[in-house]
Amino acid sequence: MIGILVVAEGANDKRIQNSLIKTLSSVLQISPHRIVIEEMELEDK
C-alpha cells in the first residue's frame, strides 16, 4: 500500500488541493484517496 503526504503553502485552498491531487494521482498512478494534502505552517522568527 502506497500513500503520499504533500505539505504545501496555500494548501488550505480547496482548488489548490484538488489540482494537486488530480496531478499527483495522474503522474504517480495512485488513487486520489491515497494522497493527503496539508497546509504548510510558516514559522515567524
Reading the block at residue 6, the C-alpha cell is 504533500
Residue 36 near residue 6 (C-beta atoms within 8 A): yes
Q: What integer pLDDT is reported at residue 20 of this predicted model?
A: 95
The separation between the first and the last C-alpha atoms of the chain, rounded to the nearest angstrom, is: 39
Per-residue pLDDT tens for 8-37? 998 999 999 999 999 999 999 999 999 999
Global confidence as pTM? 0.80
Map out the domains of the chain as residue ranges. Answer: 4-39
2 burial level (CB within 10 Å; 0-12, 13-18, 19+): exposed
Q: Which residues pair with 21 in a beta bridge?
A: none
**In the predicted structure, residue 41 carries a pLDDT above the cut 90:** no
Q: Which of 43, 27, 14 has its CA nearest to residue 4?
A: 27
